[in-house]
């Protein structure tokens, strides 16, 4: 979920003639102005979409609304918001890590920064979830699997989404980070003129995944969410790290296309319109297609459009100080929001509430999670990143110099 934000320019490869000269001339300017703050701001909206999905899940550990009609209507509206947010984060990770990649970086240096950025927050969230509610019903085996981020490797629904439920995606991201140095080295060798074919191929692979899942996996047992969908098919299409690697790879390819001037930008407003259309499409396709495929093209378009707006200095709603701040704490928000919702429900007992009361509580939970996220960012994430993202010897050398 978390992504680097520091851009260091690198000369485009695979260009020739006037196009290469223009790209090279533009690169210093890009390096100066493009820390991609709009993408940072958009991260919070993606995390908020996942919050909305969980807020209206009609399950006992979370549900607050007494009225069935309202509860299930809201559940229907936000059912695919979680898939939208997670897919956005996966593509965004590939894009921003590629954009910020440094030519002189080492694999171990990259892994060190990712570990320091991600794992301390993850452990804090794991501890909070276990102490506040998850230990009541979580076996030691599943708890340990979560702690070491391997809960995503078995087709078991209540293992995949256990302890702090949204943390499954960090188990997937961990595989992305381990693979990124190799993927980037391979993709950088692609002729820039051929990137569009690779991008089309990645999108086609995303669309093909649910088709394989529906055709190749058993029809039972069903997921407990009420969908006519087997646990194994859901795991293969939505959770399994090598399958979700396609989303991450798409982000890498789109970033390279933008860097090389090989991306046709349609702008942020058309991208948002298409994303809304993709979300509408999720109501009209089989469930697994709605989880990723229906929105994957608009997600890629929006990420590229926001990055281009920053590169070219165009107006962006997501580049202001508030949105960037919210984006900076969005990783912590993503990890903590389910804990806040579950703890709130546990403290309230079994009582259900009117729509007005329930919505007010959920707004309060969102605001409270923002505050807690800021504390986690300020007290854990930011200081540890500053202290340990580089080897001590390199840090000392830089200070002396």
pLDDT tens digits, one per residue of 322-366? 999 999 999 999 999 999 999 999 999 999 999 999 999 999 999
pLDDT digit string, tens, across residues 51-89: 999 999 999 999 999 999 999 999 999 999 999 999 999
241 and 153 Cβ atoms separated by less than 8 Å: yes
DSSP per-residue letters across 27-76 = HHHHHHH---HHHHHHHHHHHHHHHHHHHT--STTT--B--HHHHHHHHH
- The predicted pLDDT at position 390 comes to 76
Taking the CA atoms of residue 146, residue 4, residue 297 and residue 26 in that order, the dihedral angle to the nearest 10 degrees is -170
- The predicted pLDDT at position 34 comes to 56
Q: Is the pLDDT of residue 5 over 80?
A: no
Distance CA 375, CA 381 (A): 9
Q: What is the mean pLDDT of residues 131-138?
A: 95
For 236-255, letters b (16+ CB in 10 Å) and e give bbbbbbebbbbbbbbbbbbb
Distance CA 344, CA 346 (A): 5
34 and 310 Cβ atoms separated by less than 8 Å: yes
Give the pTM.
Answer: 0.89
pLDDT band at 227 (very low <50, low <70, confident <90, very high): confident
Cα distances from 214 to residues 107, 152, 209, 229, in angstroms, run: 37, 19, 9, 8
């Amino acid at each position: 979920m978390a992504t680097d934000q520091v851009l260091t320019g690198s000369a485009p490869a695979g260009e020739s003639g006037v196009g290469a000269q223009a790209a090279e001339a533009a690169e210093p300017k890009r390096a100066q102005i493009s820390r991609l703050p709009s993408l940072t701001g958009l991260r919070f909206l993606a995390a908020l979409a996942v919050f909305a999905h969980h807020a209206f899940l009609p399950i006992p550990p979370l549900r607050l609304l007494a009225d069935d009609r309202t509860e299930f209507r809201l559940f229907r509206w936000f059912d695919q918001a979680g898939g939208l947010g997670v897919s956005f984060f996966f593509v965004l990770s590939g894009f921003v890590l590629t954009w910020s990649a440094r030519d002189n970086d080492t694999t171990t240096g990259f892994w060190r920064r990712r570990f320091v950025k991600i794992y301390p927050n993850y452990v804090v969230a794991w501890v909070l979830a276990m102490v506040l509610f998850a230990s009541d019903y979580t076996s030691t085996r599943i708890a340990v699997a979560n702690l070491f981020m391997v809960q995503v490797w078995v087709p078991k629904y209540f293992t995949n989404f256990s302890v702090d439920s949204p943390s499954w995606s960090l188990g997937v991201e961990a595989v992305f980070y381990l693979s990124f140095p190799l993927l980037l080295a391979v993709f950088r060798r692609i002729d820039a003129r051929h990137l569009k074919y690779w991008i089309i191929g990645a999108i086609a692979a995303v669309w093909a995944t649910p088709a394989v899942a529906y055709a190749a996996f058993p029809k039972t047992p069903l997921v407990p969410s009420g969908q006519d969908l087997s646990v194994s098919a859901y795991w293969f299409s939505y959770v399994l790290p090598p399958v979700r690697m396609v989303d991450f790879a798409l982000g890498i390819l789109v970033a390279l296309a933008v860097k090389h001037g090989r991306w046709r930008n349609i702008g942020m407003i058309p991208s948002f319109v298409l994303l809304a259309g993709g979300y509408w499409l999720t109501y009209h396709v089989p469930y697994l297609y709605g989880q990723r495929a229906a929105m994957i093209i608009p997600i890629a378009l929006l990420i590229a459009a926001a990055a281009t707006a920053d590169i070219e200095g165009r107006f962006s709603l997501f580049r202001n100080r508030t949105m960037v701040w919210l984006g900076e704490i969005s990783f912590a928000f993503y990890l903590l929001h389910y804990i806040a919702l579950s703890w709130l429900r546990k403290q309230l007992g079994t009582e259900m509430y009117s729509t007005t009361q329930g919505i007010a509580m959920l707004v309060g939970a969102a605001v409270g999670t923002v505050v807690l996220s800021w504390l986690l960012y300020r007290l854990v994430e930011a200081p540890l990143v500053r202290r340990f993202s580089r080897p001590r010897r390199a840090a000392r050398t830089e200070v002396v110099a």
